[in-house]
Amino acid sequence: MAEKAIDFGNISNFADYSMRHASVTWLTASKILVAWYKPESNWGGFVRAGTVSGNVLTWGPTFQFLGDYYELKWPVVRRLEDDKALLVWQASDGNAGQACVISISGTDISMGSVTTWGNTDYYCRLSVAPLSPSAAAITYKYSDRVRARILTISGTTVSYGSEYTADASKTPYEEHITALNSTKIVVAFRDANGGYAVIGTISGTEITFGSVSQYFNVEIGWDWVVAIDSSRFVVAYTNSQIGYLRAASVSDSTITWGTAVQYSDNDPRFHSLCRYDDDTVILSVERDAETAGSAKWVFVSGTTITLGSQYYDYNPPPTGQTNYNEIAYNGDASCAVAFRSDGHSQKGYANIGVISEAAVGKARSFGIIF
């Protein structure tokens, strides 16, 4: 497809203090949710809704879902319905995985009861893939193995199924999940010897995993995976300060890999991916050794990847150091990125990119929003 322009606005501050692990989801075509936590001093977990008009964002009140002095990590928020989302996090004080349903009226947020769904290793990365408005798959690390389970949602109550092991032999550093459809997931993870992916088939709350497939055979950094249709997905990863993308096709539980494509050779970090359509993904990354937070088009034909012609900065130089970024597409004509800007005292920011048919290659406008 022809490359479209992404016009980002100004970065918009949602957390006016040092924060970690921004997560973002669209509720509707004009409303987003962002979740994060405050580390080390007082701790606490937070979520905030914002309304979007063009690339201007107006924030509602900040809602604290876990109180001061409760250490937590990796909050993840995912849309269930227009007024409901699933919030999952690791309560590090007890290495417990927890979840709740949050309800949104306008930009006001309330929460249901908290469910502790299992144990996790300390400081493990959580990842969540909604399967329907009433179910989601999660992946995490416990006892040095990649684990997964199904969460079910009824009203504002979260229940959980049994724990399943995605791989019984490797010690993962981190893991990430995406759903191909409501009954099939991809879990990607990395260890000291490379990057891997495995297909899980879901029946109710049961998960049956296939054989693990390796996509890179030496140690990698910061993996991410996104489904682009019911039988294909894309992984992003780094090695030796080079960023790579690789597409794969799925038949039953067998993975067939395309050729890896290098998207940067200048120390990219903290990348994330979101699906745009059946042939297109948007990459978000702290590019070029911490100079900027940027988005880039990724086109996929079968398992062949072609990169877009340019980056679109959402956190531009000279203060563009961008950590813990996550990008999401609203299914219409906008993408949202939430991130920590180290060039702005590690505070939490977001930006909205309006996608248009305008010719690429022209100067983009910047500002502060999300």
**Does residue 176 form part of some domain?**
yes
**Does residue 300 form part of some domain?**
no
Alpha helices in 13-105 (DSSP H): none
What lies within 8 Å, CB to CB, of 262 at 6+ separation is 242, 243, 244
pTM for the full predicted model:
0.94
Q: Structural domain of residue 52, as residue ranges? A: 32-286
**Does residue 12 form part of some domain?**
no
Q: How many domains does the chain have?
A: 1
Least confident of 24-28, 156-160, 241-245, 359-363: 359-363
**Does residue 280 form part of some domain?**
yes
**Does residue 250 form part of some domain?**
yes
**CA distance between the termini of the chain:** 27
pLDDT at 348 over 70: yes
**Does residue 274 form part of some domain?**
yes
What CATH number did the domain enclosing 247 receive? Answer: 2.120.10.10
**Does residue 47 form part of some domain?**
yes
**Does residue 181 form part of some domain?**
yes
Cα separations (Å) of 35 from 25, 66, 93, 327? 9, 11, 19, 13
The pLDDT-based confidence of 68 (bands split at 50, 70, 90) is: low
Q: What's the whole-number average pLDDT of the chain? A: 92
The pLDDT-based confidence of 69 (bands split at 50, 70, 90) is: low
What lies within 8 Å, CB to CB, of 94 at 6+ separation is none
pLDDT at 364 over 50: no
Instruction: Encode pLDDT of 237-257 as tens digits.
Output: 999 999 999 999 999 999 999
List beta partners, residue 57.
52
Q: What is the pLDDT of residue 370?
A: 21
Q: What is the pLDDT of residue 363?
A: 34
